[in-house]
Homo-oligomer: A and B are copies of this chain.
Amino acid sequence: MNTAQPPPGASRPGGRTARTRQAVLDAAFQELGDGGYAALTVERIAQRSGVHAATIYRRWRTIERIVCELMVDISAEVPLPDTGALADDLRALARSIAAFYAEPRFRGLLEAVVSAAAREPAAADVLREFFEERLRLAGRMVHRAVERGELAGGADADEIMAALGAPFYYRLLIARRPIDLRLADRAAEAAWTAARAGIFTRGPQDAKPGNAELQSAESQDAEPGTADLQSAEPRNAEPGNAGGGR
C-alpha cells in the first residue's frame, strides 16, 4: 500500500481515505445549507464531520477547494439523457438542470463555487476541468444526433451544450431570479433551433477572425474599450446562418 499522501479527490474505494473525504464533503454541504458560504469555515466542517481540522487543511488547504470538489461530486449526478432525438435530449437535460438548481442548497453551492474560483486559481482550475469534462460527456448527445442525421457533421458539440446551459447561469448569477421550467424548455428550444440552423458549426470561421481586434482592445487603457469593435463592419453571413431581415 502506497503511504504517500494521495492528491485531493483520490480515494481508495471503501477505505478510510474515502470515508474521510465523504464525511468532509457531506459536512460542508450541510453547513452550506445551514449558513451559506459566508459562514463556512474549516473549523465548522471539522466539528460537524468529526475529522480533525489539521487533516482537512493538509488535504484541501482552502475552503475554496473543498467547495469546488463538492460541486464536482454533486453535479456529476445530474443524468445525461439518451432519448433517441436531440431535441428531447436537450429538453430532458435542461429540466434536470432546472430541478437541480431549484434546490436552494445547490444554488448556494453554485454561488460558493463561482466566488471560490474568483479568489483561488486552483479552485478555478478544478471547476474549469470539471465543466470541460461535463461538456465532453454531454457532447455525446450531439454526436449521436449527427450519426442519426439530425445535424450536419460540423456541429460543434461544446457550443451547443454551452448554449443549453448558459441561460441557467445567467438567471442565477446575473439576473438573480429563480429558475423555472419555462426557462428550461426555452433554453432547450433555443439551443436546438440555433443548432438546426447551423449556427454552432465548426469550420473555416474557426480561425477566430476577431481575436486580433479583441487583443488590441485589451491593451487600451481608456474607457470600456469598445471603439475597435464599434466601427467593425458587419461580417458576411456565415454558411449556416439562418438569420433573415438584414
Contacts and interface: CB of A to CB of B under 8 A. Distances in A.
Interface of A: 37-38, 74-75, 77-79, 85-88, 91-92, 95-96, 98-100, 102-104, 106, 111-112, 114-115, 117-119, 124, 127-128, 131-132, 135, 150, 159, 162-163, 165-167, 169-171, 173-177, 179-182, 184-186, 189-194, 196-197, 199-200, 205-206, 208-211, 213-215, 217-218, 220, 223-226, 228-230, 232, 234-235, 238, 241-246
Contacts of A223: 77
Nearest to A100: B224
B77 A224 contact: yes
A193 B243 contact: yes
Contacts of A132: 175
A181 B182 CA distance: 30
* A92, A111, A181 — most chain B CB neighbours (10 Å): A181
Nearest to A117: B176
B99 A229 contact: yes
A153 B29 CA distance: 46
A226 B104 contact: no
10 contacts: A95-B230, A103-B225, A132-B175, A165-B170, A180-B208, A181-B209, A181-B213, A189-B242, A193-B193, A196-B245
Contact of A194 (B37, B114, B194, B210): B194
A167 B199 CA distance: 14
Nearest to A167: B166
A192 B242 CA distance: 9
Nearest to A150: B245
B199 A92 contact: no
A190 B182 contact: no
A88 B169 contact: no
Nearest to A190: B194
Nearest to A178: B214
A170 B162 contact: yes
Contact of A180 (B115, B163, B214, B228): B214
Contacts of A206: 182
Contacts of A86: 245
Nearest to A76: B224
A244 B149 CA distance: 12
